[in-house]
Structure 1
Amino acid sequence: MTGGLGRGALRTSAVGAVSATLIATAGLGPAPAAQAATGATSIRFVDISGAGGTVLKANVVTPEGADGTRSYPLIVLPTSWGLPQVQYLAQAQKLANSGYVVVSYNVRGFWQSGGEIEVAGPPDVADASKVVDWALANTPADARKVGMAGVSYSAGISLLAAAHDKRIKAVAALSGWADLIESIYSGRTQHAQAAALLGGVGHLAGRPGAEFQQTLKAFFASDLSKEPELLAWGKKRSPETYIDQLNENGAAVFVANTWGDTIFSPNQSAEFYEKLTGPKRLEFRPGDHATAEMTGLFGLPNDVWTNTHRWFDHHLKGEDNGIDREQPVQLKSRSAGGYEGYPDWKSVGTTTKKIALAGTTTIHTNVNSGADGGITFLSGILDQLAQVPPLAWIPLLPPYWAAVWQSETYASAQRVRGTVTLHTTVTATKESGTLVAYLYDVGPLGLGKLVSNAPYTFHGQTPGKPFGVDLELFSTAYDVPAGHRLALVVDTVDPLYIEHNPSGAQLTFSSPEHDPSYVSVPLREQ
């Protein structure tokens, strides 16, 4: 294999501290949630027999006064990756107070539940149906009004379950995934920090199954011979694979994510949403993975959870709360302002502006130029709370390791909305390599704020022979102030990703007359 692979594997150990931070943060969640769930509703802890008889530890919250004389809509909440069954008690209390039976269960392989971690495999999907079976048999739940919801891991399981179980009529998938491979292997590039977090938390809080361990090992080893197996493994666990079944079943699907999600990028959520044919809603906000929903787990006011409740109230209770009359695509810019409504995803960016990538530029590989996508969770939280994304001094980026193109200075604000695309021609001195593209908002002093980025890896190219590259950067909503400009930066090393650049390799970017290179930026008109 090529030279960069060993360095990528070594870098996975560097995110161990981030894994520990995630565990510590996760550990803070249950106590406040449990304290919040002390109302008049009934709470009991039970064992549910999942697929193959695997014991799933669960809690059941029922409305006050539920005595079996009437039935209530049912909400099933699988737990997120690595979190215990008390994760959703605060939200379960709120739902039960408004007339739902809520069953939250620890997914197999984690904490006290039995079995091994299957990463949303068939046993996890079967478990969800078993939990519905149990709830309908042991609680005053209405079989005609079943919903599922959750954050991250539980969002993916909820979508997969709705595709396989027609009884599930409504889903709220918060910070989840549609395409698992696109999540951790977009641009054919391993997302090192994201995968290391999943693996680290899995080993600390659960019992990884053999298939998961083998897949993770092959992933970090950059073993191209295992790539078909990796793709098949991810496809089986991707809701997008079952989109036809989901549409046929007709479940009402609410998808919410953040612009800076460094585990499950927003692109896949938008693409998945567009393929849905039933009742649907899409929301994007500033933040990183699962940060937008976090305060709601403590029982605090939270827009994501408020709209989750409204979604279920309308689609399971039939309440006329207006959510069906709102624009179904709701976005909140990373820069400022309130929510923007759109009829569909393609209407988000009404015009495009191209930045020409003129000339020929050669860069050397294997060194981080100073432009990078930040740190999983931490960078996204800073952007969410303080509007401080990853920064770079664009004029100081070394041309030896970074290619830079800039637009003109804009006389008016530019409202970037949607998915930025890069088209260029690359000539490499080696058959394999990795490049990472970044779009920056550059102020008058040259300080660049990261607008978007994405990695791209190639294998099997003929050294010295040009080839085309088309790359979608991660979708975003960002307002570039008047007096600023946009800059595209391309380098070859980023702590978020495993790079595949052999030592001493060079990449040359050109713009042939018959096939000019450019960056296409989607804009919303003022």
Structure 2
Amino acid sequence: MRPHRKALRTTAVGAVSAALAAAGTLTAAPAAQAAPPSVRFVDITGDGGTTLKANVVTPAGADGARRHPLIVLPTSWATPQIEYLAQAQRLADSGYVVVTYNVRGFWQSGGHIEVAGPPDTADASRVIDWALAHTPADPDRVGMAGVSYGAGISLLTAAHDERVRAVAALSGWADLIDSIYSGRTQHAQAAALLQGAGGVTGRPSAELQEIFRHFFASDLDKEDEMLAWGRKRSPAAYVDRINEHGTAVMLANAWGDTVFPPNQYADFYERLTGPKRLQLRPGDHATAEATGLLGLPNDVWADTGRWFDHHLKGEDNGVDREQPVRLKSRSGGGYEGYPDWKSVAAAERKIALGGTTTIAANVNSGADGGIVLLSSVLDQIARLPPVASIPLLPRRWAAVWQSGRYPTAQRVRGTARLHTTLTPTKESGTLVAYLYDVGPLGLGKLVSNAPYTFHGRTPGKPFGVDLELFSTAYDVPAGHRLALVVDTVDPLYIEHNPSGARLTFSSPADDPSYVSIPLREQ
């Protein structure tokens, strides 16, 4: 077992337009400046002879007389190899050898899309091999980073290749199943976005096409097969290997990530035993890193740069002395530091969900989680989350419970949890829970949500439901209240409610229903 290390620096996003824009901002420095880093476009032979299109950026004047730390950057889903060039040049300016490459199956690289399967991790190791043989890279100082798809591949490679001493995984996943199939519910818009982008810019493998077919068809006979496929591609399944290697891991994500929600990252973070850091901030999938791909100032890139500088270059920049869990509220303000994820939600309060409430299924009540990417971006930029008029929600299709008004401002930090007793009229069904911040006029701003699906239940027989809502950081103004709303239809998810289904929520005396909220006075 290798001693614990400390390392990391870099980031990136996943939008093609951002990557192309980044390419247009790369060079052009005043003549008085030092010579720019060297940039080469090369072909690297990946696993099984697959050609990977790559860029190699080396520090100015690098001649092989001394070795430089190496950063490998796999591209995001559906993005070309130029995605990281702006940040690669900045890293090279700081003394790193940087290799960015287009993952197999996309754009001009060969092969088919394997969704971070074994060929992808093998490719990453081949890229490291190539860099050590063809650049002045130091074999003892290897790091990997990426946004989204590149983040997942980086974590998986760290589990399988002990040469990777540090990882910066930005807007990625640790548990693929818990990301797009949480609550046993298909995240339809997120999966459709991935499928569409992959089909336009790449070549999906036959296995991936089959998985998508089963996923969208809600084929329960293939569920075990899909779960096994997802586990093989989940870094959480290999966390013991990462811990054994002592890899320094930085995780960064957005509260509103509609592709890879933050809960699964936080759970993974808690299981890491080596040097680690978790940063969560407002935004949606890969939006927090986007400006950095354009070469603009960006706190995600700056912090991952400090991470790499400390763990790969040995700089005493203080990153190891800061609180490792750093959060930004969706309501504004700077970073808050915590010693661990559990400390984020140290105080919890319960809202009782009393009485018995029955709702009809198959109709969207007007409460929903918004639109993939768009809604959380509006929240990030203009603090405009999805809204609903709580008094006007039709109680035929939505169950509603509210707290009293809070006399002082409150802070929601962490993960709200729903516990209730459900009696269905059909053996299958879906519910979606929403937590709203409700103002004096009854307008509710979405704080969090999560779906839940059940199959094989006996109609008319009650059973317990425990559901974690997506983690968040949100400030509730004084005079507002919190409301829990439950309905059965949301455009973000595939619903499994047969026609005419009804759901009854009750609160037995020996097992009362509640929503537990990580809440404290501001």
> Could you state the TM-score of these two structures normalised by the residue count of structure 1?
0.95
2:397 corresponds in structure 1 to 401
Q: Indicate the RMSD between aligned Cα atoms, in angstroms.
A: 1.0
Counterpart CA distance in 2 for 1:521 and 1:336 is: 20
Counterpart CA distance in 2 for 1:38 and 1:270 is: 40
1:134 corresponds in structure 2 to 130
Counterpart CA distance in 2 for 1:272 and 1:175 is: 14
1:366 corresponds in structure 2 to 362
Q: 2:175 aligns with which of 170, 179, 201?
A: 179
Counterpart CA distance in 2 for 1:478 and 1:26 is: 31
C-alpha displacement at 1:525, in angstroms?
4.7
Counterpart CA distance in 2 for 1:323 and 1:366 is: 50
Tell me, yes or no, if structure 1 residue 26 matches structure 2 residue 16.
Answer: yes
Query: Which structure 2 residues correspond to residues 41-56 of structure 1 after superposition, within 5 A?
Result: 41-56=37-52
TM-aligned CA distance change 1:243 to 1:391, over 3 Å: same
Query: Which structure 2 residues correspond to residues 263-274 of structure 1 after superposition, within 5 A?
Result: 263-274=259-270
C-alpha displacement at 1:310, in angstroms?
0.4
Q: 2:148 aligns with which of 146, 149, 152?
A: 152
Counterpart CA distance in 1 for 2:293 and 2:462 is: 51
Q: What do residues 280-308 of structure 1 show as CA deviations (whole Å, max 9, x unaligned)? A: 00000000000000000000000000011
8 Å contact kept, 1:260–1:288: yes
TM-aligned CA distance change 1:443 to 1:88, over 3 Å: same
C-alpha displacement at 1:32, in angstroms?
3.0
Moved more, 38-47 or 160-169: 38-47
Counterpart CA distance in 2 for 1:434 and 1:149 is: 37
Query: Which structure 2 residues correspond to residues 237-386 of structure 1 after superposition, within 5 A?
Result: 237-386=233-382
Q: What do residues 148-191 of structure 1 show as CA deviations (whole Å, max 9, x unaligned)? A: 00000000000000000010000000000000001110000000
Q: What do residues 182-221 of structure 1 show as CA deviations (whole Å, max 9, x unaligned)? A: 1110000000001001100010000000000000000000
C-alpha displacement at 1:37, in angstroms?
4.1
C-alpha displacement at 1:29, in angstroms?
2.4
Counterpart CA distance in 2 for 1:438 and 1:124 is: 37
Tell me, yes or no, if structure 1 residue 124 matches structure 2 residue 120.
Answer: yes
1:209 corresponds in structure 2 to 205
Counterpart CA distance in 2 for 1:269 and 1:523 is: 21
Amino acid at match of 1:506: R
1:73 corresponds in structure 2 to 69
Counterpart CA distance in 2 for 1:350 and 1:121 is: 37
8 Å contact kept, 1:348–1:524: no
Counterpart CA distance in 1 for 2:446 and 2:89 is: 39
Secondary structure of the structure 2 residue equivalent to 1:423? strand
Counterpart CA distance in 1 for 2:66 and 2:347 is: 53
2:3 corresponds in structure 1 to none
2:59 corresponds in structure 1 to 63
1:189 corresponds in structure 2 to 185
Tell me, yes or no, if structure 1 residue 490 matches structure 2 residue 480.
Answer: no
Secondary structure of the structure 2 residue equivalent to 1:35? coil
C-alpha displacement at 1:260, in angstroms?
0.3
1:523 corresponds in structure 2 to 519
8 Å contact kept, 2:18–2:294: no
Q: What do residues 92-132 of structure 1 show as CA deviations (whole Å, max 9, x unaligned)? A: 00000000000000000000000000000000000000000
Identity of aligned residues (%): 76
8 Å contact kept, 1:33–1:299: no
Counterpart CA distance in 1 for 2:201 and 2:76 is: 11
8 Å contact kept, 2:289–2:301: yes
Amino acid at match of 1:30: L
2:443 corresponds in structure 1 to 447
Tell me, yes or no, if structure 1 residue 228 matches structure 2 residue 224.
Answer: yes
Counterpart CA distance in 2 for 1:524 and 1:245 is: 37
C-alpha displacement at 1:336, in angstroms?
1.6
1:513 corresponds in structure 2 to 509
C-alpha displacement at 1:337, in angstroms?
1.2
C-alpha displacement at 1:28, in angstroms?
4.2
Tell me, yes or no, if structure 1 residue 36 matches structure 2 residue 26.
Answer: yes
C-alpha displacement at 1:519, in angstroms?
0.2
Counterpart CA distance in 2 for 1:28 and 1:417 is: 31
Q: What do residues 366-415 of structure 1 show as CA deviations (whole Å, max 9, x unaligned)? A: 01000000001100100000111000000000001000000000001110
Counterpart CA distance in 2 for 1:117 and 1:42 is: 30
Counterpart CA distance in 2 for 1:500 and 1:138 is: 54
Gaps of 5+ in 1: 1-21
8 Å contact kept, 1:34–1:86: no
Counterpart CA distance in 2 for 1:245 and 1:441 is: 42
Counterpart CA distance in 2 for 1:97 and 1:523 is: 44
Secondary structure of the structure 1 residue equivalent to 2:268? helix
Counterpart CA distance in 2 for 1:346 and 1:33 is: 41
Counterpart CA distance in 1 for 2:147 and 2:37 is: 23
Moved runs in structure 1, 4+ residues, more than 6 A? none
2:6 corresponds in structure 1 to none
Give the count of matched residue pairs.
504
8 Å contact kept, 1:34–1:89: no
C-alpha displacement at 1:239, in angstroms?
0.1
2:4 corresponds in structure 1 to none
C-alpha displacement at 1:30, in angstroms?
1.8
C-alpha displacement at 1:34, in angstroms?
4.4
C-alpha displacement at 1:36, in angstroms?
1.7
8 Å contact kept, 2:54–2:101: yes
Counterpart CA distance in 2 for 1:203 and 1:49 is: 24
Secondary structure of the structure 2 residue equivalent to 1:316? helix
8 Å contact kept, 1:91–1:299: yes
1:461 corresponds in structure 2 to 457
C-alpha displacement at 1:344, in angstroms?
0.2
C-alpha displacement at 1:524, in angstroms?
3.9
Secondary structure of the structure 2 residue equivalent to 1:212? helix
> Could you state the TM-score of these two structures normalised by the residue count of structure 2?
0.96
Counterpart CA distance in 2 for 1:84 and 1:419 is: 36
Gaps of 5+ in 2: 1-12, 30-35
